Amino acid sequence: MENSQVMSAPLESVPRGRWMRIIPAVIIVYIVAYMDRTNIAIAMAGGMNADLGMTASFAGLAAGIFFVGYIFLQIPGGQIAERLSAKKFIAWTIVAWGGFAALTGFVQSQNQMLAIRFILGVAEGGVYPAILALIGHWFPNQEKARAIAFFQMNLAIASIITAPLSGWLIESHGWRQMFVIEGVLSLALLLIWIPLVSDTPAKARWLSSEERAWLDARFAEDKAKAVVAENVSVRTVAGDINLWRLIAIYFFFQVGFYGFALWMPAIIKQLTGSGMATVGLLSALPYVLCIAGQYVIADRCDKTMNRRLFTAVPMIGFALCLSLSILLEGQVWVSYAMIVCCGFFLQAYAGPFWTLPPLLFASNVVGGVRGTINALGNLGGFIGPFLVGYLTTTFSKNVGLSVLIGSLLIAVALLFTLPRITAKAPR
């Protein structure tokens, strides 16, 4: 009788301790990871290229080689986090990436920079799938999209703070010191990560008995609905058409996201004719709205359990607002308002999207599936910015942005080829 009362307890009455420990910890970790990944862009403008004799094309290679290394630990990271310990795995990666991020400040040649960036990509590569696995251990299906959306807010927050902070450090101390200081900041994450995080509710001494009982009941309910196949491995699902659909969906969205995000400041500068200080502020506003969009879409997704629809809605909204910004560019501030509205949809797909793999694959391979999707799909991060730059140079900016819109719509079309289980709560 007591267990049935726990299972039927309204979500609002359940203690919320895990939201105050797990979610802030993963957000902070990934904010700093994102900072160490992207601060090279500020360094290139702050004297690094001149000091190391780097051409623009070599600087692009140094920035991009991170993503080559990023592929290597995607699948192992997800598997280790699912089967062993996400907490320990992420703690060791913090040590690795923080150390190499700090060492970036000591490079003396172009080849050393390439090597450091590649290793930094390897070190960070397993963090994202490991965090998704950790969230899956702490948040049952009815909360999962919101939990992932809160975590994904780190990208918006990091985008708002990284450039000003890194720019101030370079101006005050130099680009080498900027890398060292932000690398040491990464190592300091261990002071937050180790005491706050536990791998599962069963290992958390700080969890209240009421919250533990509610979670046990919910996870038991989710497990009863989950697909489990002990003889299935990531290798055996490699030929599953649904895996390649998810990879393609993620790839085409990443083309749209990175193509837009990287070129947005240049687009805003060309559109408004503002100075760089104003462009910086105008470029931050879409990311402020991005935080709201992630929560609103994820909340609706969890309430309806229609994962497919609420993955598609942000992609459609993003494509529509980007189209309007092009069509209305003669009205400068109306066009800019549409760019800001793009921010609302920019990352709102993530919470719903990452709830799809557990609906389509056995629980024992979900970690590896997430890693595979993230590893291959992130290649869109190369293609999007390149396409916008190439097509803008060859034809026009609007042609480049139109390709991004087309990429988003391809992702939407692919979403609706997924099985119907993704459009309703599992029975």
3-state secondary structure string across the chain: CHHHHHHHCCHHHCCCHHHHHHHHHHHHHHHHHHHHHHHHHHHHHHHHHHHHCCCHHHHHHHHHHHHHHHCCCHHHHHHHHHHCCHHHHHHHHHHHHHHHHHHHHHCCCHHHHHHHHHHHHHHHHCHHHHHHHHHHHHCCHHHHHHHHHHHHHHHHHHHHHHHHHHHHHHHHHCHHHHHHHHHHHHHCCHHHHHHHCCCCHHHCCCCCHHHHHHHHHHHHHHHHHCCCCCCCCCCCCCCCHHHHHHHHHHHHHHHHHHHHHHHHHHHHHHHHCCCHHHHHHHHHHHHHHHHHHHHHHHHHHHHHCCHHHHHHHHHHHHHHHHHHHHHCCCCHHHHHHHHHHHHHHHCCCHHHHCCCHHHHCCHHHHHHHHHHHHHHHCCHHHHHHHHHHHHHHHCCHHHHHHHHHHHHHHHHHHHCCCCHHHHCCCC
User: What are the Cα distances from residue 172, in Å, to 77, 157, 166, 284?
Assistant: 37, 23, 10, 22
Q: How far apart are CA 338 and CA 277, in angstroms?
A: 21
**pLDDT at position 99:** 92
Both tokens of residue 36?
A: 């160490």
The pLDDT score that the predictor gives to residue 65 is: 77
User: Which residue ranges in the chain fall short of pLDDT 70?
Assistant: 1-15, 41-42, 45, 56-57, 59-61, 63-64, 163, 225-235, 262-263, 265-266, 275-280, 385, 389, 425-427
pLDDT at 295: 84
Structure-block tokens of residue 425: 């709560």
Are 125 and 77 a contacting pair, CB within 8 Å? yes
183 Cβ contact list (under 8 Å, min separation 6): 36, 98, 99, 100, 101, 102, 103, 104, 105
Amino acid at 72: F
Q: Output the pLDDT for position 103.
A: 93
**How far apart (Å, rounded) are the C-alpha atoms in residues 269 and 279?**
6
In the chain, the domains with their CATH numbers are: 11-225 (1.20.1250.20), 227-427 (1.20.1250.20)
Res 7: pLDDT: 46
The half-sphere exposure of 360 on its side-chain side, counting CA atoms within 13 A, is 26
For residue 317, which of 296, 288, 331 has the smallest C-alpha distance?
296
- How far apart CA 264 and CA 283 sit, in angstroms, is 7
pLDDT at 5: 46
Q: In which residue are the tokens 């500068």 written?
A: 269
Q: Measuring CA to CA, how many Å separate 324 from each of 279, 335, 416?
A: 20, 7, 24
Q: Which two tokens stand for residue 130?
A: 């490991």
Sign of the CA dihedral 363, 365, 369, 375?
Answer: positive
Task: Give the max Cα distance, the chain.
Answer: 72
Nearest to 121 by CA among 61, 171, 50: 61
Task: Give yes or no for a contact between 369 and 234, defined as CB atoms under 8 angstroms apart.
Answer: yes
Q: How many CB atoms lie within 10 A of CB 122?
A: 19
Chain centre to alpha carbon of residue 142 = 21
Contact criterion met (CB below 8 Å) for 405 and 323: yes
